[in-house]
Amino acid sequence: MNNITIKRIYNPVEESDGFRILVDRLWPRGMKKEDAGIDLWLKAVAPTDALRKWYHHDGGRWDEFRHKYLLELKDNPAVDELLLLIKEHKTVTLLYAARDAEQNHALVLLEFLQNR
């Protein structure tokens, strides 16, 4: 599989990011679209609104959130679109806005993609 990384959208854009895909359902707070440096906003691959609201970055729910999101990804047609993009580009960076670098949906998405 090609090189896939994750990165917080608020971090500086780098040439090494390759094709940059925002994988959040909501636009990141305080980020101007012209400053985001994204190639695509793939909202549909993010957790559903119901799951996102249920989790609400509650670390005590992380394991259950991770499990539920992995189940969502298995039936999500947007994953096929993402896989095609990954095949088309040597390097893909999945962008997220969450502050927590250790418990966020982009980590789960990356894990899911690496296990396919």
Domain ranges (residues) in the chain: 3-114
Average pLDDT (36-40) is 97
Asked if pLDDT for residue 15 goes beyond 90, the answer is yes
Average pLDDT (46-50) is 97
DSSP 1: -
Average pLDDT (86-104) is 96
Asked if pLDDT for residue 65 goes beyond 70, the answer is yes
Asked if pLDDT for residue 81 goes beyond 80, the answer is yes
**CA 102 to each of CA 2, 40, 92, 110: distance values in angstroms, whole numbers, following the listed order:** 23, 24, 20, 12
* Per-residue pLDDT at 72: 97
Percent of the chain with pLDDT over 90: 94
* Per-residue pLDDT at 1: 56
Q: Which residues contact 1 (CB under 8 A, 6 or more apart)?
A: 86, 113, 114
